[in-house]
């Protein structure tokens, strides 16, 4: 894609993101066809938003997540700093058509992972991690029918990024815990309405983190020290409405919460 068309797509997506409005799809002239085009539009989107990069997200790492947005594999997206908050945040649901909350395993990097020709191993990626965190993503799309636009357009739309909540770091012993079988509960207004575990995130949240490192490396993009990577919902997305209080309970790894307003 020409740079002018990437910027046009980015401006359209960002203007609808800010306004809480939706479009059927990007116009033909600036519609990405390949995943690489979609990621290039993400770069322009961050520039148009005039925001810092808080980190990265992975969409559709679980079967439930893939069904939710109509794709057959994971997608990477950018977490914008002005849309990331700590536990206890209050987010408005106005303009959000997805209206779900997604409990996720998130990692903060101690060291960066530069692009390179050979794939990273999970051991290498984990060695670069500083801390593990319970997290909640509140996604949305700028498309009217996000399940029908395809992976390239969803990637351009920042892989359905919207708001993000990062909980406190898990205790230091998290590295010896079996994250694959680690259970997570999703509570809405004090009632457990969803349950999941790490196995629902590409089989293992650490594998998902490695997937993102290699996906970005193929694009000649690195993950920087201090960046947070959230690895995708570990359960079916929790449906929410105005007034709900959502808690993601990761047991021994901690909790994080968010409330929803108009």
Task: Check residue 67 and give its pLDDT.
Answer: 82
Reference 135, options 162, 105, 92, 107; nearest CA is 105
DSSP state of 170: P
Element spanning 5, H or E? helix 3-19
Q: For the chain, give every domain's residue range.
A: 3-261
Average confidence (pLDDT) over 194-216: 97
Confidence of residue 66 (pLDDT cuts 50, 70, 90): confident
Tens-digit pLDDT profile for residues 35-58: 999 999 999 999 999 999 999 999
Flag whether pLDDT at 63 surpasses 80.
no
Task: Write down the residue that tokens 């901690």 correspond to.
Answer: 254
Question: Among the CATH numbers 1.10.10.10, 3.90.600.10, 3.40.50.10790, 3.90.850.10, which is that of 3-261?
Answer: 3.90.850.10
Strands 75-80 and 100-109: unpaired
Task: Check residue 60 and give its pLDDT.
Answer: 92
CA distance 179 to 233: 14
pTM for this entry: 0.96
Task: Check residue 72 and give its pLDDT.
Answer: 85
Reference 57, options 232, 196, 201; nearest CA is 232
Tens-digit pLDDT profile for residues 150-181: 999 999 999 999 999 999 999 999 999 999 99
Task: Check residue 95 and give its pLDDT.
Answer: 95
Confidence of residue 200 (pLDDT cuts 50, 70, 90): very high
User: Using an 8 Å Cβ cutoff, are 197 and 234 in contact?
Assistant: yes
């Amino acid at each position: 894609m020409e740079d002018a068309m990437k910027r046009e797509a980015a401006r359209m997506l960002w203007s609808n993101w800010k306004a809480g409005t939706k479009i059927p799809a990007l116009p033909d002239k600036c519609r990405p066809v390949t995943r690489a085009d979609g990621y290039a539009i993400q770069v322009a989107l961050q520039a148009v938003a005039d925001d810092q990069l808080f980190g990265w997200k992975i969409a559709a790492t679980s079967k439930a997540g893939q069904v939710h947005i109509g794709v057959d594999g994971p997608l990477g997206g950018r977490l914008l700093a002005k849309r990331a908050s700590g536990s206890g945040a209050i987010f408005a649901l106005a303009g959000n058509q997805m209206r779900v909350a997604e409990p996720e395993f998130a990692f903060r990097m101690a060291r960066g992972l530069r692009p390179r020709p050979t794939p990273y191993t999970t051991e290498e990626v984990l060695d670069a991690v500083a801390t593990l965190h319970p997290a909640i993503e509140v996604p949305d799309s700028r498309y009217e029918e996000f399940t029908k636009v395809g992976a390239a357009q969803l990637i351009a739309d920042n892989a359905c990024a919207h708001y993000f909540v990062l909980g406190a770091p898990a205790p230091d012993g998290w590295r010896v815990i079996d994250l694959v079988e680690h259970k997570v509960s999703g509570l809405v207004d004090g009632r457990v309405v969803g349950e999941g575990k790490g196995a629902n995130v590409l089989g293992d949240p650490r594998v998902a983190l490695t997937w993102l490192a290699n996906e970005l490396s193929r694009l000649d993009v690195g993950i920087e020290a201090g960046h947070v990577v959230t690895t995708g919902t570990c359960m079916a997305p929790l449906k929410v409405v105005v007034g709900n209080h959502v808690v993601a309970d990761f047991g021994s790894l901690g909790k994080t919460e968010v409330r929803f307003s108009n």
